[in-house]
Structure 1
């Protein structure tokens, strides 16, 4: 299985977003992605490993104060 993007979370910072991903091993994670004012750059590494996309999103919202 290839990894795939499940959801994009945005908040009050226009230069940042969180990607909820399904990993190649079937688990889920979230990753920070930054915008340099022109385009979205390469996303960061996995932030945790979760059994569901919902758990990954809940954890991202709990740990990222700028998410709405």
Structure 2
């Protein structure tokens, strides 16, 4: 029973956050989503490049 209450509360909090996001940002919401996606892609690219450099450096030592 406790899990159901927590699930309903988290659903209400998520729906409230989604409503506030779209309500207050209006047309700028798309720009914010694109910016977040761009930042995520850049961060992932940097992480993958670092892993590739470490992998290439490890291959040269063998």
In terms of fraction of residues, the more helix-rich structure is 2
* Larger RCO of the pair (alpha carbons < 8 Å, separation 6+): 1
In terms of fraction of residues, the more strand-rich structure is 1
Work out whether the TM-score is over 0.5.
Answer: no
If the length of structure 1 is used for normalisation, what is the TM-score? 0.21
Larger Rg: 2
